Chain A
Amino acid sequence: MTTTARVPAIEGWFTLDDAAPRLLGLKCGECGTVVFPPRALACPNPACPATDLASVELSRTGTVWSYTVNHYAPPEPYMSPDPFVPYAVAAVELADEQIVVLGQVAGDPSTLAVGAPVEVVLDTLFEDGEGEHVVWKWKVVAGEAGA
C-alpha cells in the first residue's frame, strides 16, 4: 500500500498544521510592520532602519476585499488539472496586520461575497509523482457568508 506524500508547494510560507494552518510572515521588532510572503531583506517601512525581521504567524481569519473566478486555464507554470476546472482567487483583508493577502478559494465559490469572513485552509494545488502539493487557500466560514 502506498500513501501519497503531502508536500508544501512552497517552503516556509505556511504551517502544515491541517487542523489550523497559519500563513507565515515576518514582523519588524522595531516598528511592527508585517510582511507577507516572508521574503523581505529588511523592514519595508522606509522610515525604519531595522534589518532583522522575525517570523510571525498571521491571523487565521479575514474578510474578502474582492474576488474573481477564472474560467480560462492559465499558462505554465500553473499546473492545471485536465480537464481544466475554473477556480476562484480572493484578496483577503487581515484586520490585525492591516494587509491584503491573495489566495485561491477552497470550496464553493458561489458563497463568496465582498466582506464575507474567510479562514485559511490547506488544500491541493496539484499532484505529481512527488506527491500532493498543498498550498494555502481561503475558505468561506460556513454559515456566515455574505456581507
Chain B
Amino acid sequence: MSVDQVVVLGVGMHPWGKWGANFAEYGVVAARAALEDAGVSWPEIEFVAGAETVRNGYPGYVAGSTIAQALGWNGAQVSTSYGACASGSMALDAARSRILAGVCEVALVVGADTTPKGFLAPNKGERGDDPDWLRFRLLGATNPTYFGLYARRRMELFGATVEDFAQVKVKNARHGLANPNARYRKEVSVDEVRESPVVSDPLRLLDICATSDGAAALVVCSTEFAQRRGVADPVRVAAVSTVTPKFPNAVIEMPNFATDSAVAVPPAPVSFRDSIARTAYEQAGIGPEDVDVAEVYDLSTALELDWYENLDLCAQGDAERLLRDGTTTLGGRVPVNPSGGLGCFGEAVPAQAIAQVCELTWQLRGQAEGRQVEGARVGVTANQGLFGHGSSVVLVR
C-alpha cells in the first residue's frame, strides 16, 4: 500500500533546556521558525494541529488553540492530539489526513512542553482507578523501572553489556555536539557513564534521558501548494504509523502491571514495537534496506539498541554488533540519532516526535551542519507513547 504524500515545507524548533518559561512561549518560537523556513505567513495557515502537554494545566490540554491564540487568532481550524510520547506523530497525522482528503492545503503542526525536575510523575490526588497513579503507588514503578527491566532482559538474552549501553551515550553525545537545539553538547566517556549514580540497575543516570523544556513545529502542505511556491524536490511525508498493539501483547509496557495473557491466543509473530516501523515501511512502499538515517527514542541507552531491531536494521540480538562496528555512528551505513537523540535533548514529550521530523528534514535537505548524513534521501523515526501508542514517520526526498 502506497499513499499520496504531503510536503514538509518548513521546520523549526525552540532549543531544548530548562528555561522555566510557559510552554506556549516555546511553541510560538518554534512555530514562527517553521513558518519562516516555509516562507508561509501565519494567516495563510488553514489548520493547526497541536500536541498536548498534560503538565501545564488547561492551556496544555488545548495546546493547538493555546498556541494559535498566542500567534494571534487567524480563524484556522484546530485539533489537539494526545498519545503521550507519540502525540507529535498523531498531530502530524491529523494535518496530513486533512491535506490528503483535500479539505486543507497548508497546516501547522506544533508541540511544546515545560517539564518539572526529576521523574515524570502521575497527576495529583487519590486516583485509585488510574493505572498510571497505581503503578507509582503500589510498585514504585517509575519510567526508568521499565527501562531497567528491558535493559536487564537484553543483557540476559543477547549478551549486551553495560559498556554497550555506555557506548550508545558516547555516540549520541558526539553526534549532538554541533546541534544548536540540543541541551547537552559535551563529549561523554564510557567511564563517566559507568561512574554516574545507579538509577534503575543496570542503568545509570547517564544511561537515562532527562526531562526538558522545548518545542518543535512543522509546516506541511499539499504537493500543489509546494509547487505554487516554486519548491522543487521537497522533503515529503511518505508514511505516518500510529499503530496500537495486537492482542496478546506479550511485552510488559508502561504503565501496565501485567502483559496480556497468551493462554487463549498465541502472541502475534510481529511484536508491537516491530509493528510500529513495519506499518510505516509498508505505507511508504520501502524496506529497512532503503533507510539512510533514523531518529529513535533513546529514553535509555539500552532502548536505542532495541529500536535497531524493531526498525529491522538488523536481526534480533544483532544490535550490539551494529553499534560496535560503527554502522549506526555518523559515517556508518545507517546513522542513528545524528541529532544527538534524547541523550542530548532530554524529553519534551509533545515536542519530541515532531523534533525527530525536524531533524530528518534537515538531514534530507543536507542542512544538518556538523552532523550531516551524506546523501541521505530516506529517513525514519520511531517512538512509543505509554498506553499503547506507536509512532513512526518516514520522510523521503
Contact size class for A? Answer: 35 or more
Chain B residue total in the interface (Cβ 8 A): 48
Write out, one digit per residue, whether chain A residues 60-87 have a CB within 8 A of any chain B CB (1) or not (0): 0000011111111011111110000001
Closest to B129 in A: A39
B397 in the interface (beta carbon within 8 A):
no
Contact of B263 among A48, A67, A97 (CB under 8 A): A97
A68, B149: Cβ atoms closer than 8 Å? yes
B140 in the interface (beta carbon within 8 A):
yes
Measured in the bound complex, the distance between the Cα atoms of B149 and A135 in whole Å is: 20
Measured in the bound complex, the distance between the Cα atoms of B134 and A135 in whole Å is: 12
User: Which secondary structure characterizes the binding site on chain A?
Assistant: loop
B133, A70: Cβ atoms closer than 8 Å? no
A98, B262: Cβ atoms closer than 8 Å? yes
Which residues 3-60 in A have Cβ within 8 Å of B in the complex?
Answer: 9-10, 28, 31-37, 44-48
A75, B136: Cβ atoms closer than 8 Å? yes
Contact of A44 among B118, B121, B247 (CB under 8 A): B247
User: Which secondary structure characterizes the binding site on chain B?
Assistant: loop
Which residues does chain B contribute within 8 Å of A10, judged by CB atoms? 128, 134, 138
Measured in the bound complex, the distance between the Cα atoms of B128 and A147 in whole Å is: 37
Contact of B264 among A28, A37, A68, A114 (CB under 8 A): A28
B199 in the interface (beta carbon within 8 A):
yes
A71, B199: Cβ atoms closer than 8 Å? yes
Which residues 75-113 in A have Cβ within 8 Å of B in the complex?
Answer: 75-80, 87, 89, 91, 96-104
Chain A interface (Cβ < 8 Å from any Cβ of B) = 9-10, 28, 31-37, 44-48, 65-72, 74-80, 87, 89, 91, 96-104, 114, 125, 135
Give the 9 A-B CB pairs with smallest separation, nearest first: A68-B148, A75-B121, A98-B262, A66-B153, A31-B264, A34-B261, A69-B201, A99-B261, A114-B156
Chain B interface (Cβ < 8 Å from any Cβ of A) = 118-119, 121-122, 124, 126-128, 133-142, 144-145, 148-153, 156, 197-203, 247-248, 250, 252, 256-265
